[in-house]
Chains A and B, each alone.
Chain A
Amino acid sequence: MTNRVLITGMGMISSIGMNVEECYASLLSRQSGTDKARILTTVHRDTYPVSEVKLTDDELSKQAGLSQDRPYTRTTLLGMIAAKEAFEHAGLHQLERLRTGMVSGTSVGGMGKTELNYLDYLQIENPELLSMYIDTHDCGDSTQTIADTLGCNDYVTTISTACSSAANAIMLGARLIKNGLLDRVLVGGVDSLTRFTLNGFNTLMILDKEHCKPFDGERCGLNLGEAAGFIVLESEAAAREGNRKIYGQLTGYANTNDAYHQTASSPEGNGAFLAMKKALEKAGIQPDDVDYINVHGTGTPNNDLSEGRAMERLFAGKIPPFSSTKSYTGHTLGAAGGIEAVISLLSINHQIIFPNLNFTNKMPELNCEPVTETDTSVAVKTVLSNSFGFGGNNTSLVFSAS
């Protein structure tokens, strides 16, 4: 038995669909989820488009099958829906229990509720009301709630490394399996839209007032989004049980630090270069073997230049087809690595490369440009997925056909 890490299920909810099938249909029909905010109340509603899941918290509760008896943060609701989908897609609800855990990435946690209630927390005299909400603020709340509900409690933890959180969760999950600590693990991430993050990114002046244009010469920023994306990783032995489909394998992963600046990436993309290089080395493959790169591609002047330069360096000018699906889903922060893992697997399973929307002008500093039309002509066996976060946190994952 080899030490492979196999993928047996996927779940996703985002601005482009309530489940994997709907998201896939949107990707095929070039349907972006970016629009004026309908759910989030913010003074910036008419200025900055966002990529929202178009359901209220109540509607999400119903979708998640959760009762209204206790408060669930929007992060938990989104996470529960995608996690359940992945869990059931992998058939885990029907199989005999092996050692099953969960690793989730998030940056926002329960901030959605906290920002509505915070000043009240300080005035509030009713301890019962206070305790109902206050313990949902931390990042671990959504992970623990979901793991408790699904029964994947053998090891549960939460990672928060900004925009690389979910990718890091996937990486840790693989290592837990390879080190024999778990047989199965639900991995990915979730973040909901909040005024905190929208205003935070606004202070950095990296939000686009229009739909973002990743890797475009005229790009000027990102669109914030919300989503949850989870996949189920299993050891080879565990994956053999129950006659189930294998959707791919996680063959490579690496995490590095740019160590250049707290929020900006180094101009030559040093951290990104190292992350991609090490991930390929882990997978035991050459740059030539990569069929598609799902880039981090937020649409900010800084990221796309840094990432582009890193790719040109690593692939020595022969960059494989690449696209940023943030042009569809927006930048979903802690969830990005999770939904992009699902998208990478869709790419492998449907032999398809999704386009980078809103691209018109090549970046003058680069020789490459992204794919702009859906492409089914390429045999997609190996996908590289990038997620780069604040604090110089760079993660690359390699997904391969099984």
Chain B
Amino acid sequence: MYSEGMPDTFVNTSGHKLKAFDPDYKKYIAPAAARRMGRIIKIGVASAAVCMERAQEKNPDAIIVGTAMGCVEDTEEFLIKMIDNKETLLTPTSFIQSTHNTVAGQIALLLGCNNYNFTYVHRGFSFESALLDAMLLLKEKEASSVLVGGLDELTNNHFEIYNKLGYWKVSTSCIDSIRDKSDGVLPGEGAAFFILRTEKDDHTLAELSGLEMIYKPDDALLQKRVLELLQKHALAPAGIDALVLGINGHGEEDRFLLSLAETLFPETPIAAFKHYCGEYPTASAAGLYQAAYLIKNQEVSEAAWQTGNRPKQISNVLFCNGFRKDYQSVTLLSKC
């Protein structure tokens, strides 16, 4: 079970880069702290602050963050200065901020929270690992309220380097580009945070029933794991009212998800989300946000729908994401 995440930060600006929206940081972070924070740290802390405000949470029993690349801007800043200055006249701030657990650490610092604090940094499973840990804590009764988030940033250098590798799609229509099955993905970034609780309350969006991570699967294995997940919750594919799919428009990378949808869920309406946020290792956090909203509000924006049909009643949503083929995850959400 969980509550709302962050504000709608996914806005298409900067040409074909899906840069995350910068909220008014002063609302959430004191200037004395904010002055040192790189952009992704501010985005992460602000997102977490909004989430906690919406869930009316002042001191979570645990803070868990997933980030595959960490604080890239600060890392680059320190690294480039170190190379340029030949290891002299270096200042500490960007080094300190470059450690991967800075966001989780800063949230704890600003809250005065002495509780469990972990950061996962495992590629396309960074956010899923954080989510799994949170679910385990609730199951173990070590926590009754956990703040979980996923975030990654797109710096200019990161964009340029991957541009040379031909990794990005250049597109003026994001909605079309996630369907075009060509090479390349939309360059994106963002942060999404959630409060997971054992008890339902007025803020609850949905119930998080199950999570599976499947590494380097083939079609058969992925579909088998999906069926097992559904069976565990006494569901058949027909019981899923909508799919939220992390398709990014890359023909090769989307294969698994599209094959899964065609084979097991041929009639089920499909909503996408990477036209909002682009592709990055923890985009699944944005997708989970979309899926949760879908259950709570019983709708998402018209642009998100990929199929002609629309769900009538949404009780169960299957959220399926892939990152570069090797990292496939499936999450079951239910109305509660």
Contacts and interface: CB of A to CB of B under 8 A. Distances in A.
B78 interface: yes
A259 B96 contact: no
Given A115-B82, A263-B96, A391-B101, A159 B121 contact: yes
Interface string A260-292: 111100000011001000000000000000000
Contacts of B267: none
Contact of B121 (A138, A257, A258): A138
A261 B98 CA distance: 15
B215 A153 contact: yes
B70 A139 contact: yes
A392 B91 CA distance: 21
Nearest to A148: B216
B117 A179 contact: no
Q: Which of A124, A157, A389 has the most CB of B within 10 A?
A: A157
A392 B78 contact: no
A45 B121 CA distance: 31
Interface in B38-85: 63, 68-70, 78-80, 82-83
B124 to A, nearest CB: 9
B70 A203 contact: no
A124 B117 contact: no
Contacts of A127: 164-166
A356 interface: no
Contacts of A196: 78-79, 82, 95
B122 A262 contact: no
Interface string B232-254: 00000000000000000000000
B170 to A, nearest CB: 16
Interface stretch (A55-63, A160-168, A214-222): A160-168
Interface string B137-153: 00110000000000000
Nearest to B123: A140
Contacts of B221: none
Interface string A340-364: 0000000000000000000000000
A199 B133 contact: no
A94 to B, nearest CB: 24
A134 interface: yes
B240 to A, nearest CB: 24
B105 interface: yes
B115 A139 contact: no
B129 interface: yes
B161 interface: yes
B96 A157 contact: no
A139 B122 contact: yes
A374 interface: no
A255 B164 contact: no
A204 interface: yes
Interface stretch (B20-28, B106-114, B195-203): B106-114
Interface residues of A, number: 61
Nearest to B124: A140
A140 B68 CA distance: 7
B88 interface: yes
Contact of A175 (B78, B86, B136, B216): B136
A391 B99 contact: yes
Contacts of A109: 121
B268 interface: no
Interface in A127-150: 127, 130-131, 134, 138-140, 143-144
Contacts of A115: 79, 82-83
A273 to B, nearest CB: 10
A367 interface: no
A121 interface: yes
Given A200-B95, A393-B101, A122 B120 contact: no
B108 A259 contact: yes
Contacts of A376: none
Contacts of A257: 63, 105, 108, 113-117
A157 B115 contact: no
A391 B121 contact: no
B100 interface: yes
A168 B69 contact: no
Contact of A271 (B86, B87, B114, B139): B114
B109 A139 contact: no
Interface of B: 63, 68-70, 78-80, 82-83, 86-88, 90-92, 95-96, 98-102, 104-106, 108-109, 111-123, 125-126, 129, 133, 136, 139-140, 157, 160-162, 164-166, 213, 215-216
26 contacts: A42-B87, A43-B87, A107-B99, A114-B79, A119-B80, A121-B157, A127-B164, A139-B100, A139-B121, A139-B122, A144-B123, A156-B125, A159-B118, A168-B118, A195-B87, A196-B78, A199-B82, A199-B87, A199-B95, A203-B90, A203-B91, A204-B92, A256-B115, A270-B114, A391-B102, A391-B108
